[in-house]
Each structure stands twice: as structure tokens, then as C-alpha cells.
Amino acid sequence: MLHIRLLLETRLEDGKLAATDAFTLVVNAHGGLLELHLKLPRGHRIWLINTGTGIKAPCRVLGTRKSREGGFATAFEFEQASPDFWPINFPPRDWHLVDAK
């Protein structure tokens, strides 16, 4: 779980560009979960901008559900895995659990 402020950009149905603040609830190298005030349909294309680093990444909405805070919990995935988008280091892919007996 990681709470990061992001800027979300997208094109609305009428073709207009819209931008809004978003906050992460959960992140991983392939995407995460955002808290938004917009309800976006599954498959909708968005661009996320990490306001701390300036990195911008294209993403797709995987699904949304109403959150307890009155907004929408929105699952998304990067169009390409983007572990460097977040200000954390993920374990290498070759790491595995070791039985500590």
C-alpha cells in the first residue's frame, strides 16, 4: 500500500482533455489502485503523471467500484510494466521464498 498524489489526464467522451488529481491506494510494477472522483469505464485510456518525478505513463482502466470515501476505487494497468514510475524498489524477478526451517 502506498499513498502517492498523481495527476490523471484523459479524453472524455466529447473529445475534451480532462485532468484531475488522483491518489494511489495500492501500487505494483504493472499498475495499481487509485482513488478518483470520476467513474471511468473498463478499458478507458488514461495517462498518469507522477508529480514528484514528472514521469508520464499511459494506462488502461481495469475496473471501478464505489469507495467508502464517496469516490471510485479504480484499478489500472500500465500499457507496459513501469516499475520506475513509483518511488520504490521492487524485488528482482528472480527472488523466491525460502523455507526457513
pLDDT digits (tens, 9 = 90+) for 68-97: 878 999 999 999 988 788 876 556 667 666
In a domain, 95, yes or no: no
Q: Please tell me the predicted confidence (pLDDT) of residue 91.
A: 60
Tell which residue, 84, 97, 92, has the closest CA to residue 27: 84
Residue partners of 78: CB distance under 8 A and separation at least 6: 30, 31, 57, 58, 59, 85
**C-beta separation of 35 from 71 below 8 A:** yes
In a domain, 14, yes or no: yes
Structural domain for 22, as ranges: 5-85
In a domain, 101, yes or no: no
Residue partners of 20: CB distance under 8 A and separation at least 6: 7, 8, 36, 37, 38
In a domain, 29, yes or no: yes
In a domain, 93, yes or no: no
In a domain, 91, yes or no: no
Query: How many independent structural domains does the chain possess?
Result: 1
In a domain, 50, yes or no: yes
CB atoms within 10 A of CB 46: 23
With H, G, I as helix, E, B as strand and everything else as coil, classify residue 84.
Answer: helix
13-26 per-position pLDDT tens digit: 899 999 999 999 99
